């Protein structure tokens, strides 16, 4: 756990946040500043700063996160209409929180 990481603090329970999903590897919760009607963050429990920091041994984690996004899209009623998955990487890539996370965006037509 990175002490100054807001996602690590959420995962540890230091910042109360209702989870939409949680298991031993990942958690999912609504974004506090949603860009779309459905804006869910899927976050690994283990602190990984960014996609750039991942090694080949962690490839299954990204697959697990994508499959969870698929399930949550169905749960939220947006699977059939469509949705977007986004991983921002680094400051110039739009990554605000330095902890790997996947955005599930939907609920309206995206451009």
Which of 33, 99, 101, 103 is catalytic? The answer is: 101
Based on the residue annotation, tell me whether 33 is a catalytic residue of this protein: no
Query: Would you tell me how many other CB atoms lie within 10 Å of the CB of residue 48?
Result: 19
Residues taking part in catalysis: 101
């Amino acid at each position: 756990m990175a002490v100054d990481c807001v996602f690590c603090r959420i995962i540890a329970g230091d910042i109360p946040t209702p989870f939409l999903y949680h298991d031993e590897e990942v958690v999912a919760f609504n974004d506090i500043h949603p860009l779309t009607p459905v804006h869910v963050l899927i976050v690994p429990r283990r602190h990984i700063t960014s996609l750039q920091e991942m090694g080949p041994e962690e490839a299954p984690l990204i697959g697990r996160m994508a499959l969870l996004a698929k399930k949550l899209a169905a749960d939220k009623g947006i699977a059939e209409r469509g949705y977007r998955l986004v991983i921002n990487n680094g400051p110039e890539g739009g990554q605000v929180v330095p902890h790997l996370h996947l955005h599930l965006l939907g609920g309206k037509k995206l451009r």
